[in-house]
Amino acid sequence: MTYHFKRGEGSVEKRLREIAASQIDKAIAEIDDPDIDTKETVHQVRKRAKKLRGLIRLVRPAFDDYKFENASFRDAASDLSYVRDAEANVETYDDLMTFHEDTIGAADFAPIRNGLVERRAEISCSKGLDEKLAAFRETMAAARARAADWCLDEKGYEAIAGGLGKTYKRTRKAMRRADEEPTPERLHQWRKRVKYHWYHARLLREIWPEMMEAHVAAADTLSDLLGDHHDLAVLRETLLADPRAFAQEPELEAFIGLIAARQAVLEQEAFMLGRRLLAEKTSALVARWKAYWSDAMREDGLPEKALAA
């Protein structure tokens, strides 16, 4: 089952349960599949947890169990974050070298990559990872049973309007705060908000596919820009936490400079796109998407309280 509400296929509550069950089942299957590399398994199941959090955040004001379920998915993914960070460090290093390939010699920084690869290998083989994946699986299995009985206090568009508006409003506020003081922490907070809004646009894309696809694509691009910025910040923290494990001081300082230069470019691109994507006031966006919802209802010959996304 795809990650979006389908038009004309039951209530919002029913589709909420079905999408949640699908994501949970996929996470469990990925853990159980012996052909999937452990690093890839961690990456995939953490994505499932994030998508589940995005899903329930859309119906948050109408979902009494939101706080418990959100904490459950959040904590399960957090227990595996150190594995993903180690993998992302190597990927981020490679992307950075590609970005600067016309101006630097990658061989000068090879010891840094070697150190990151060694660190990744140590973490991937560390004791306890299998146990953490097993615990993640147990969390998902328990959530699967609960999801079959999830209930919402509202129906139709009213079930999602509050969560949609709250997330979008927070995304705009996070952008303003990051613009006032573009620290890694504030940019990361903005990125997390953008990610949730992206999930919401994906979930609702069938209310008007032609229009929503462009919005989804822009939100995805913005999330990637801010995600790359955050990955560079994590890489910098990793290197500075134990600099002697990676390179001599002159090479390390030069590499940190490359990180800063790339982050500056990413910030500029992110703010240019963000101001356009998030230009609309919250009330206007919620009302506009409601109009799309209602028109989709009429097009399908359904009552407005039915599911239209």
Query: Could you report the per-residue pLDDT of 169-200, keeping only the tens digit for each?
Result: 999 999 999 999 999 999 999 999 999 999 99
pTM here is: 0.93
Q: How far apart are CA 205 and CA 31, in angstroms?
A: 29
Which range, 105-119, 163-177, 286-300, has the best average confidence (pLDDT)? 163-177
Statement: residue 24 has pLDDT above 70: yes
| pLDDT tens per residue across span 220-278 | 999 999 999 999 999 999 999 999 999 999 999 999 999 999 999 999 999 999 999 99
What's the pLDDT score for residue 304?
Answer: 53
pLDDT band at 308; cut points 50, 70, 90: very low
In the CATH scheme, what architecture does the domain 12-300 have? Alpha solenoid (1.40)
* Percent of the chain whose pLDDT exceeds 90: 85
Note every long-range contact of 28-31, with CB atoms under 8 Å and residues 24 or more positions apart, other chains counting.
28/137, 28/140, 28/141, 28/144, 31/133, 31/134, 31/136, 31/137
Per the CB < 8 A criterion, the answer to whether 83 and 170 are in contact is no
Q: Give the model's pLDDT for residue 309.
A: 36
For the chain, the domains span 12-300
Amino acid identity of residue 50, one-letter, is: K
What Cα–Cα distance (Å) separates residue 148 from each residue in 20, 56, 158, 285? 9, 14, 21, 31
The per-residue pLDDT for 102 is 86
**Average pLDDT of every residue of the chain:** 93
Please give the pLDDT value at position 221: 98
Structure-derived torsion over alpha carbons of residues 127, 132, 133, 135, reported in degrees to the nearest 10 = 140
Inform me whether the pLDDT recorded for 216 exceeds 70. Answer: yes
What is the reported pLDDT for 307? 46
* Residue 107 scores a pLDDT above 90: no
Work out the average pLDDT over 282-295: 96
pLDDT over 70 percentage in the chain: 96
pLDDT at residue 128, rounded to an integer: 85
Number of other residues whose CB lies within 10 A of the CB of residue 176: 12
pLDDT of residue 64: 97
Q: Nearest CA to 168 among 28, 58, 294? A: 58
Task: Give the mean model confidence (pLDDT) for residues 15-39.
Answer: 96
